[in-house]
Amino acid sequence: MLKPTERIWHNGRFIAWEDAKIHVLSHVVSYASSVFEGIRCYETSAGPALFRLRDHVRRMLDSAKIYRINIDFSLDELADAMVDLVRVNRLRSCYVRPIVLRGYGELGVHGTKNPTEIYIACWEWGKYLGDEALKEGVDVCISSWNRIAPNTLPALAKSAANYMNAQLIRMEAQVNGYSEGIALDHAGSVSEGSGENVFVVRDGKIITPSLASSVLPGITRDTVVTLAAKLGFPVVEAVVPREMLYIADEVFFSGTAAEITPVRSIDRINVGNGRRGPITEALQKEFFAIVNGTVHDHYDWLTPVTAKALVEAAVVEVTA
């Protein structure tokens, strides 16, 4: 259950958590016309810091552009709003969820006359696939549901509609006793999990499906590629046949929620020896050292939420 915070950002001002409501006839409710992001704010020794904030905001603007949703705020304004939101809610670590949606107005499929509503919420959040998962790995299956095919729904957009597909994948997996499902693409090659990108390790080489395999261009995926290069592990984007998963030395997920999570079995076949592998572990170590602020952030991936004066104008607006 979500633990409410004090404020949610709406179209440029802060409102109370319980006032962040939309009408049931808002365009988004019938037609899934929203795009969104999920961003982690980590607790570091220098205070809270948002991970790859500008990259997430950029992807949200890209998603909106694909769907012809106009946004009247710049990347900088939205990024600043997220930093301010974490600050006004006085959280040390949290998950940040900006949502851009087509709101209340006309009701028909073509929604460009409906107003764009932007909400940003944040709340405290733990580990997505469970605390043990990062160390022990998770048991997953190949989903009977494929990922969305090219030129049906755009996979590069993080839109609500795509998550109907994700729900089918995830529900099926969990009903059958797995933590997660990996979906294949329209051609039967590996695509991604319901909320994670997939990496395969074989003979010291790391392989991940390319963007042509209906995957979300994950920010953590890009982080893994960058960190792997630094550690000297080559990463290639390739078509990954399903059976490559069964004979891999290591398989792991990447994602804002899942971070870097080892996969220990697929369809009840052990991945490698059924334990977290050395390359996965090395990447996790590097990743967590950066997000927890224990090593220098060479990449400028962390945006600090400094203790500067509260965004008083906005807070006054709400309390007045």
Ligand X SMILES: Cc1ncc(COP(=O)(O)O)c(C=O)c1O
Active site residues: 158
Q: State the Cα–Cα distance between residues 284 and 162, nearest whole angstrom.
A: 28
Distance of CA 115 to the CA centre of its chain: 25
Pick 111 or 195: Cβ nearer ligand X: 195
Q: Which of 192, 248, 272, 311 binds ligand X (CB under 6 A)?
A: 192
Pick 116 or 254: Cβ nearer ligand X: 254
User: Quick check: helix, strand or coil at residue 302?
Assistant: strand
Q: Which of 35, 78, 201, 216 binds ligand X (CB under 6 A)?
A: 216
Q: Which of residues 38-97 bind ligand X (CB under 6 A)?
A: 38
Pick 117 or 196: Cβ nearer ligand X: 196
Stretch that binds ligand X, among 9-17, 171-179, 219-227, 286-294 (CB under 6 A): 219-227
Q: State the Cα–Cα distance between residues 249 and 239, nearest whole angstrom.
A: 17
E strand residue ranges, 194-232:
197-202, 205-208
Q: State the Cα–Cα distance between residues 261 and 91, nearest whole angstrom.
A: 25
238-277 footprint of ligand X as x/- string (CB under 6 A): ----------------xxx---------------------
CB of 192 to ligand X, least distance (A): 5
Contact status, residue 22 vs residue 101, Cβ threshold 8 Å: yes
CB of 76 to ligand X, least distance (A): 20
Half-sphere exposure of 17 (CA within 13 A, CB side): 11
How many other C-beta atoms are found inside a 10 Å radius of the C-beta of residue 226? Answer: 15
Pick 57 or 166: Cβ nearer ligand X: 166
Pick 218 or 277: Cβ nearer ligand X: 218
Q: How many residues bind ligand X (CB under 6 A)?
A: 14
CB of 295 to ligand X, least distance (A): 20
Residue 90's identity, in one-letter code, is R
Q: Which of 86, 96, 101, 166 binds ligand X (CB under 6 A)?
A: 166
Q: Which residue, chain included where needed, has tokens 């043990």?
A: 132
214 forms part of the interface with ligand X (CB under 6 A) = no
197 forms part of the interface with ligand X (CB under 6 A) = yes
Pick 221 or 264: Cβ nearer ligand X: 221
Distances (CA, A) of 53 to 19, 39, 85, 315: 26, 7, 13, 23
DSSP string of 228-259? HHHHT--EEE---BHHHHHT-SEEEEEETTTE
Q: What sign does the CA torsion over 243, 244, 249, 253 have?
A: negative
Stretch that binds ligand X, among 73-81, 120-128, 194-202, 296-304 (CB under 6 A): 194-202
CB of 315 to ligand X, least distance (A): 30
137 forms part of the interface with ligand X (CB under 6 A) = no
Stretch that binds ligand X, among 3-11, 22-30, 216-224, 260-268 (CB under 6 A): 216-224
Contact status, residue 286 vs residue 231, Cβ threshold 8 Å: yes
* CA neighbor of 106 nearest in space, from 167, 30, 6: 30
Lookup: tokens for 69: 């949703």
CB of 217 to ligand X, least distance (A): 7
Pick 198 or 314: Cβ nearer ligand X: 198
Task: Please provide the distance, in angstroms rounded to a whole number, between the alpha carbons at the two ends of the chain.
Answer: 30
Q: Which residues here bind ligand X, judged by CB under 6 A?
A: 38, 166, 192, 195-197, 216, 218-221, 254-256
